[in-house]
Amino acid sequence: MLMSIVRTAYRFIRFDRAKSIGVMVGIVISTFLIGQQLGIAFFLSGLMSAVVDNSSGDIWVIDTRAKDANQVGFIDSRNTRLVQSIPGVAIAYPIVITGGKATFPDGSNTAISLIGSDAPLFKAGPMQKNIIEGSFDNLLNEGAVTADYYDRDNFGGSAAVGQSFEISGKRAYIAVQTKGVRGFGGTMMYTTIDRARYYGNVSDKSISAIVLNVKSGANADSVVTAINKTIYGVRAWKKGELSFSTVYTILFTSGIGVSTGSLIIFAIISGFFIIGLTMYSSALDRLKDYGTLKAIGANNRYIRALILGQAFSFAIIGFIIAYLLLLAFIKGSEPSGLVVHFPIWVLAALFMVTLLISLSGAIFALRRIKGVEPASVFR
């Protein structure tokens, strides 16, 4: 029974090639657009939360009014000792995040975000896995900062180790090169906490945040609660929660979430109608064929399985083609710094959306074929 449906569905697809190609193109375009927008959305969300994600602490402590890690303001540096005294805290590290303007030998300049933390651990980041040249030890040298490979166009065309430039009129040089450590709306450079203060003219009495690790066996939620109840003017966040809050805040205050979401919804709706109307048109052209099947004994269940089998085949082939196009998009966009990754669960969800679009589009054809009488083949 199943093999009979598969063979018959294949014959219908092959016989009406023009309509089949139309359905396939609709699926490929919809799936590619959805995947592309999702990929860009994930990339942008990674930039939004990069300040948090590149740190290696368990908990962040910032100003109580801040919900976006990119705009944390300053808090009293004495809070570091207060946080350190909370039960369950292993060690607390102060962080300074400040802005500046980098000016390069060719006259180009760009706004930067300086992120400073204590050597040699550099708990604020960058992550060791993202360093492609140099090491944390190099950041101990006078004027040393990090620069990201993908930001090279903002640095006069080069982010190579050894390049000298100025930050707010003060000499600096690139001592460590990273890859993929980038911020949202600004270039990130990491250095020591004292050097960040120096370049950003930040007082010794002020810090931007405190990153801490909890003791082995301690409960992070309990530590967060204790900090929030004990210390006035600051709020503790688990790393993942602050990362999510940062992305959520930016998405819904900047309109990026609405614009990206609307494009994805539009791609789904347009794909649904393109595929549905094309399959409906194909069904109209094949009315006598379906009537013949009914005349020789096929029931509505068989006809329904036949149409859904075609839709399922379209979904599989269309998804494979769209996935190959997405791989080409990823490969082509990587040199410019648009690094897109698709986790397995995203690809699975994308396939399910593709299948849903294709099977939903088949509803148009099913409604038309349902009423076909076997006698219509003789008219």
Check whether residue 203 and residue 300 sit in a common domain: no
For residue 15, the model assigns a pLDDT of: 65
Check whether residue 151 and residue 271 sit in a common domain: no
Domain boundary among 217, 232, 247: 232
User: 117 is in which domain, residue-wise?
Assistant: 65-232
Check whether residue 10 and residue 74 sit in a common domain: no
Encode the chain (379 residues) as per-residue pLDDT tens digits.
556 555 665 565 666 677 777 778 888 888 888 888 888 888 888 889 999 999 988 999 999 999 999 888 899 999 999 999 999 999 999 999 998 899 888 778 888 999 999 988 899 989 888 999 999 999 999 999 999 998 888 887 778 888 899 998 899 999 999 998 888 877 899 999 999 999 999 999 999 999 999 999 899 999 999 999 999 999 999 999 999 999 988 888 877 777 778 888 888 887 777 777 777 676 666 666 666 666 666 676 777 777 777 778 888 888 999 999 999 998 988 887 788 888 888 889 888 888 887 777 777 667 766 665 555 545 5
For residue 207, the model assigns a pLDDT of: 96
Q: How far apart are CA 249 and CA 46, in angstroms?
A: 13
3-state secondary structure (DSSP) of residue 149: helix
Report the domain count for the chain.
2
Check whether residue 101 and residue 215 sit in a common domain: yes
For residue 95, the model assigns a pLDDT of: 95
Nearest to 154 by CA among 105, 187, 191: 187
Domain boundary among 232, 267, 294: 232
Check whether residue 284 and residue 219 sit in a common domain: no
Q: How far apart are CA 361 and CA 363, in angstroms?
A: 5
Which class for 371: exposed (0-12), middle (13-18), buried (19 or more C-beta within 10 A)? Answer: exposed
Alpha helices in the chain (DSSP H): 2-15, 17-48, 50-53, 79-84, 193-200, 220-230, 239-254, 256-285, 287-295, 300-333, 344-370
For residue 294, the model assigns a pLDDT of: 65
- Is residue 352 a part of any domain in this protein? yes
- Is residue 240 a part of any domain in this protein? no
Check whether residue 34 and residue 85 sit in a common domain: no
Check whether residue 41 and residue 146 sit in a common domain: no
| pTM, 2 dp | 0.80
- Is residue 94 a part of any domain in this protein? yes
Q: How far apart are CA 32 and CA 25, in angstroms?
A: 10
From residue 358, how far is each of 65, 278, 313 by CA, in Å?
Answer: 47, 11, 9
- Is residue 356 a part of any domain in this protein? yes
As a residue count, the chain comes to 379
Which class for 85: exposed (0-12), middle (13-18), buried (19 or more C-beta within 10 A)? Answer: exposed
- Is residue 238 a part of any domain in this protein? no
Check whether residue 226 and residue 301 sit in a common domain: no
Check whether residue 90 and residue 215 sit in a common domain: yes
For residue 144, the model assigns a pLDDT of: 94
- Residue pair 263/37 in contact (Cβ under 8 Å)? The answer is yes
Check whether residue 219 and residue 288 sit in a common domain: no
Check whether residue 34 and residue 124 sit in a common domain: no
Check whether residue 79 and residue 191 sit in a common domain: yes
- Is residue 243 a part of any domain in this protein? no
Domain boundary among 197, 232, 267: 232
- Is residue 60 a part of any domain in this protein? no
- Is residue 267 a part of any domain in this protein? yes
